[in-house]
Structure 1
Amino acid sequence: MSPSEKDDRVKQFKEYVQALNKQFLEWATKQWERSPTRFWSTGMQDYLRTVAKVRREFSDVLADDDNNIGRNSGQTTPGGTPPPPPGSEKQPPKYEPQLSLTPFCNTKVIHFIRHGEGFHNVGYSQNLDARLTERGWDQAHALGRHMYSQQPTAGVQLVVVSPMARTLETAAGIFGIDPSLCAFDPPTMLMAAQDAQWKVRTAHGGLSLRPGVKLVAQELCRERLGPSQCDKRQALEDAQRQFPGVDFSLIESELDLSWEAGKVESESRVVVRGFNFLAWLMQRPETNIAVVTHSAFLWFTLTCFGNEFAKPVRENLQRWYENCEMRTLVLSDGGGMGVPDKTWFRGGEAYAEPQKGLLPNVKEKGKGSLLSAMRTAWQGGVKSSNS
C-alpha cells in the first residue's frame, strides 16, 4: 500500500469512527430524554458489533492493541507524537495481564461449530434447506476425529443443533458412528441412510449415536433469515424421519413460519436471538456443550463480546468462522445463573470436626446431637451395604 493510499485509508477510518460515535451520541441523548430509567443494552450491543466490523475492515491501518492508527500507518498518534523513525523503534510495552475470576459453577464450556460446506456455499443457494456437499461430509468426519482425540472435547454431554439440514448433517458426521462399529446393542439410530441427488444431496450411510451424547434441535441458533431458499428449513416431519436420534421437541411448528420470501432478518434481531440462546444455554444442567450452527449467527452474536480484550484474544473470539471450524469458549454469567457448585466445601467448623463437613443438614445443639447424627448416618450406610 502506497503512502497516499494509507492516508486515504486513515482518513476514511476517522470518518467512519466519527460518524459512528456521533450517531451513538445522538441515540444516547434521545434515550436519556425518553427512557432515563431503562437499560440501554440493545444499543450498546449494536455499537460494539459495529465497532467489530470497523476494526475488521480497517485492520490494515490499525495498531495491534487499539484503534490507534499511529504505528501501522506512519501517521502521528492521537496525542500528536510522531512515530519513531525506522530502525529506532522502542521496545514493546511491558505485557500487562487482564485477569478475571468467575466461580466455576457459573460457567459452561461451549464448543461453537459452523456447519460443513453446503451446496449453497458453492453456488446453489436456491435449494430448499441446503445440505452438505461431499467435501462438507469429509469436513464433519475430520472434526469428529479431532474432537474425540482430546479430553476437553471428547467429554461433550449435549449437542445443540440448528434445525437446518446442513447443521443436522454436520452434527451427525461429528457425533455419529458407523453402526457396524458400535460396541453397544442395540445402537441408537442418529441419521437414516440417504441417496444422492445431483447438486442437492450427497449419498451417505446411516449413522448411530455415540453413547453418552444427546442432540437437541433449537431454532434460536438457526441462520440469519434471508431471501434464499437455502435458509428455509424443511418440514419438521421430514427432519424427524431423517434424524430419529435428534430431539425436536423444542421446534414448535411443522412448517417454517419464520422464513418469508424476499425478507431479511435485521442484524439487531439476530443479536437479540443470540443473547436469548446464550441465556438458554446457561439454564441447561450440562456444563460441556457443543453448538452446531451458522456463520452469520455466530458473527452477529459473538462480536458483541470481548471488545475490551487485547487484539489476539478479541480476534480469536470474534473472527469469522470457516466451514466446519470449531472454537471452544467459556460462557459465564456474573448474574448468578449456573449449576449447583458440587466442588464447594463449606469449611469452618468442618476443619475441627471433619465429619461435620459431610453433614450439611445437622443442626448443632451440642456435641451429643452431632454424635447422634453421625451414628444415624453410619447405621444407614451399613443397612444400605447389607441390602
Structure 2
Amino acid sequence: MFDVCVSDEKIWFGTSGFVFYDPDMGGSACPSLFPLHRCKTLHLVRHAQGFHNVAGEKDHSAYLSPELFDAQLTPLGWQQVDNLRKHVNACGLSNKIELVIASPLLRTMQTAVGVFGGGDYTDGLSVTPLMVANAGNSNRSAISSLNAPPFVAVELCREHLGVHFCDKRRSVSEYELLFPAIDFSLMETNEDILWKADVREANEEVAERGKKFMDWLWTRKEKEIAVVTHSGFLFHTLNALGKDLHPLMKEEVCKHFANCELRSIVIVDKSAIGSGNSETNYPGRIPGGLDLPSDSAPKKHSEKGASTNSLA
C-alpha cells in the first residue's frame, strides 16, 4: 500500500517495495514516479523525556509502578521541547504543518502543544488555550492556540497497550480540562478500556495498529501532518512498513527514535484510497485543440497523404 525512497531530506516508506536493493544494479535504487496528490508528508516526533524514561533507565521494573501512571515530561523534557520548537520555527516547518496528531497521553500532548502550539497564552485573548497553566504539574505557562494548526488526539498512535502504568491514559474529560483546544472527538470512550493490567500488547499487534493508523491518514485532506507519538509505536510501525528498503535506508528510517527527535518522511498512496484530486495540476490549452506530439505528426501526415494518393 505504501512505498519508500530516500532523497536529500525526505524519506518515502512502505510495504510493497517501490525502492529496493538490487545487486545487479550495483546496489542502486530504481527511482519511481508518483503524482504529488498521492503523497503526504509526515513529520514524526517521539515525545520528550518523561519521568518514566528516567525511572525505567535505572530499573526496568519501574514501568510496573502505578506511580508512573500517565507519566508527564521532566524539566529536561521541557528543555527538549523548547529546543525542537526553535528548530521547527527556524527551518520554516511551523508554517507548513496543516494538522498535529497526538497520542492521548500527557507526555505526547505536552510535547505536541509545546513544539507546534502558538506560544505563551496571554490573558484576554479570545482564543482557547491549547494547554492550561501547570498542566500535568509541568510548572509551565498556558500555551495559546493562536495561529496554530488544529490538534487532534488519536488512540491508534498510542504506545504499547497494557501492563506499564505509564502507558495508561486518563479520562477524556480530564484531558479536556488540561488541553481545551485539542480535539478529542475521535476518542470513542471517556475511560481507557484499551489498557489491560495483565496483558501487554505484542509487537506485531502494535505494527498492525500502525498500519491502520497510516490507512486512516489517507482519509484526511491535509497533506503535511505532524504526528507526536511514542518510541515503540514508531519503531514497530516503521519496521513493518519499511521491510523492503535498501539496508542503508532501513537503518536511517527504522532505528529507534531519541526523545523529542523529529524525522520527516513522505508516504505514497499506490492503492488510491486517498483523494484523487490534484490542486496544482492544469489540463493545458483551453479550449482544447489538436495537440499531437511532434513524433506522431509525420506519421499522421504520411497516412493522410497516402489516402489522398489512393483516391487520385
Q: Under a length normalisation based on structure 1, what TM-score does the superposition of the two structures give?
A: 0.63
Separation in 2, partners of 1:195, 1:254: 19
| CA distance in structure 2 between the aligned counterparts of 1:161 and 1:210, rounded to whole angstroms | 18
Any idea what the Cα deviations from partners look like across 1:309-335, whole Å, max 9, x if unmatched? 323322121110110101000011101
1:194 to 134, 150, 153: 134
**Structure-2 residue corresponding to 1:345:** 282
Residue 331 of structure 1 aligns with which residue?
A: 267
State the 1:101 CA deviation: 1.3
Query: 1:253 & 1:204 partners in 2: Cα distance?
Result: 29
Look up the SS of the partner of 2:241 in the other structure: coil
Which residue matches 1:179?
Answer: 121
Task: Report the CA distance between 1:203 and its aligned residue.
Answer: 1.5
Give the 5 Å matches for 1:110-189.
Answer: 110-123=42-55, 125=63, 126=65, 127-176=68-117, 177-180=119-122, 185-189=125-129
What is the correspondence of 1:80-119 to structure 2 with a 5 Å cutoff? Answer: 96-119=28-51
Indicate which of 201, 217, 221 corresponds to 1:281. 217
Matches of 2:138 and 2:168, distance apart in 1: 19
Higher relative contact order (CA 8 A, sep 6+): 2
Q: Superposition pairs for residues 224-239 of structure 1, below 5 Å?
A: 224-239=160-175
Structure-1 separation of matches of 2:162 and 2:96: 35
Output the CA distance in 1 between the equivalents of 2:184 and 2:253. 29
Identity, in percent, stands at: 36
Q: Which amino acid aligns with 2:48?
A: G
What CA distance in whole angstroms lies between the structure 2 residues aligned with 1:185 and 1:208? 9
Task: For residue 132 of structure 1, report the CA deviation from its aligned partner.
Answer: 0.4
Contact 1:175 1:209 in 2 (8 A): no
Shift of 1:272: 1.5
Q: What is the SS of the residue equivalent to 1:179?
A: coil
Q: So what's the TM-score if we normalise by structure 2?
A: 0.77
The Cα offsets for residues 82-130 of structure 1, whole Å up to 9 and x where unpaired, read as xxxxxxxxxxx95634311111111100001000000100116331111
Partner SS, residue 148 of structure 1: helix
Structure 1 residue 337: Cα displacement:
2.6
Deviations 1:261-305 (A, max 9, x none): 121012222122111100111110000100000000011110012
Deviates more, 1:152-161 or 1:305-314: 305-314
What secondary structure is seen at the aligned counterpart in 2 of 1:113?
strand
Deviation for aligned residue 1:226: 3.2
CA shift, 1:175, in A, is: 1.8
Residue aligning to 1:312: 248
List 4+ stretches of structure 1 deviating above 6 A. Answer: none
Equivalences for residues 250-289 of structure 1 within 5 A: 250-289=186-225
Decide whether aligned partners of structure 1 residues 302 and 195 sit closer, same or farther in structure 2, where only a CA change above 3 A counts.
closer
Which deviates the most, 300-309 or 256-265? 300-309
Change in 2 beyond 3 A, CA 1:230/1:212: closer
Q: Distance in 2 between matches of 1:322 and 1:294?
A: 10
Q: Deviations for 1:46-71, whole angstroms, at most 9, x for unmatched residues? A: xx99xxxxxxxxxxxxxxx79x9xxx
Q: Name the counterpart of 2:6.
A: none
Instruction: Say what the alpha-carbon RMSD is for the aligned residues.
Output: 2.7
Q: 1:309 to 1:293 in 2, by over 3 A?
A: same
Paired with 1:157 and 1:258, the residues of 2 have a C-alpha distance of: 29
In structure 2, what is the Cα distance between the partners aligned to 1:236 and 1:160?
Answer: 16
Alpha-carbon offset, residue 253 of structure 1: 1.1
Q: Which runs of 5+ in 2 are unaligned?
A: 1-13, 16-20, 56-61, 291-312
Tell me: CA distance 1:186–1:166, structure 2 relative to 1, closer, same or farther (3 Å): same
The whole-number CA distance in structure 2 between the counterparts of 1:231 and 1:179 is 29
Bigger Rg, structure 1 or 2? 1
Q: How many Å separate the matches in 1 of 2:49 and 2:240?
A: 26
Which of the pair is proportionally richer in helix?
A: 1
Q: Which residue of 1 aligns with 2:300?
A: none
Q: How far does the alpha carbon of each residue in 1:238-270 deviate from its partner, in whole angstroms, 9 at most, with x for none?
A: 111000010000111111101111210122221
CA contact (8 A) 1:226 1:262 kept: yes
Structure 1: gaps spanning 5 or more residues: 1-47, 50-64, 69-92, 354-387
- How many residues are paired up? 261
